[in-house]
Amino acid sequence: MPELVFFSGTMDCGKSTLALQIEHNRSARGLSGMIFSRDDRAGEGKLSSRLGLVTDAVEVEDGQDLYAYLVDHLSRGGRADYVIADEAQFLAPEQIDQLARVVDDLGLDVFAFGITTDFRSKLFPGSQRLVELADRVEVLQVEALCWCGARATHNARTIGGVMVVEGAQVVVGDVTHSADEVGYEVLCRRHHSRRMTAATARAAALSPDVLPVPST
């Protein structure tokens, strides 16, 4: 039976690497995939992983009908044996409904990869719809770690290393970034709720307030 599978996790947990692995394994078996992505770090029309692998993808546009796109592709004699949707948190809920229809009406497996929650620990609408509709939700087990060493379960948005909790839900950035740019950092729940990033923890540790006062 074809399935809609949602592979979810924090940033930096290896989602895109797994997407590329699935693509590799299936194309090695002679299967041909339709790969959708959106706002990938490597640029438009790409699916890339932090480990340096990259493949071409169809850049999803606002309001694009993914089901109609596949029907059109197939009716022109194109092949699609399965579908991969990376950065699926950026898809609209209707586009997730269209992916479910690809499974049910076209009989294709759809593998969606996405971050579950945003920097305020709220569900992305696309991820929420995936949780509602998926046949299976797989939480990726490659553990991202907080600076304290605990399992990172939350995504923080940072500006110059300082965590922010205001702003638009989607601002594209990366976990590697220069100072003063919007970046992202994965944290454990405790340090997300205390807004303590690696940079602020380091600054606190170096602060004269907490250094032992040498006795003279």
Name the token pair of 60: 């999803």
19 binds Zn ion (CB under 5 A): no
Q: With respect to Zn ion, which residue has the nearer C-beta, 58 or 196?
A: 196
- Encode burial over 110-137: b for 16+ CB neighbours within 10 A, e otherwise: bbbbbbbbbbeeeebbbbbbbeebbeee
163 binds Zn ion (CB under 5 A): no
Return the residue of 71, 92, 133, 150 that touches Zn ion, per CB under 5 A. Answer: 150
Q: Is 60 annotated as a binding residue?
A: no
Task: Spot the catalytic one: 87, 132, 143, 166.
Answer: 87
Q: How far is the CB of 148 from Zn ion (least distance, A)?
A: 3
Q: Which residue has the tokens 């719809």?
A: 129
Q: Is 136 helix (H, G, I), strand (E, B) or coil?
A: strand
Q: Could you tell me whether strands 82-85 and 109-115 are parallel, antiparallel, or unpaired per DSSP bridges?
A: parallel
Sheet with 58-59: list strands edge to edge. 58-59, 33-37, 82-85, 109-115, 4-9, 136-139
Q: With respect to Zn ion, which residue has the nearer C-beta, 32 or 193?
A: 193
144 binds Zn ion (CB under 5 A): no
Q: Is 110 annotated as a binding residue?
A: no
Q: With respect to Zn ion, which residue has the nearer C-beta, 27 or 193?
A: 193
Q: Is 9 annotated as a binding residue?
A: yes
Give me the residues that bind Zn ion (CB under 5 A), please.
146, 148, 150, 188, 191
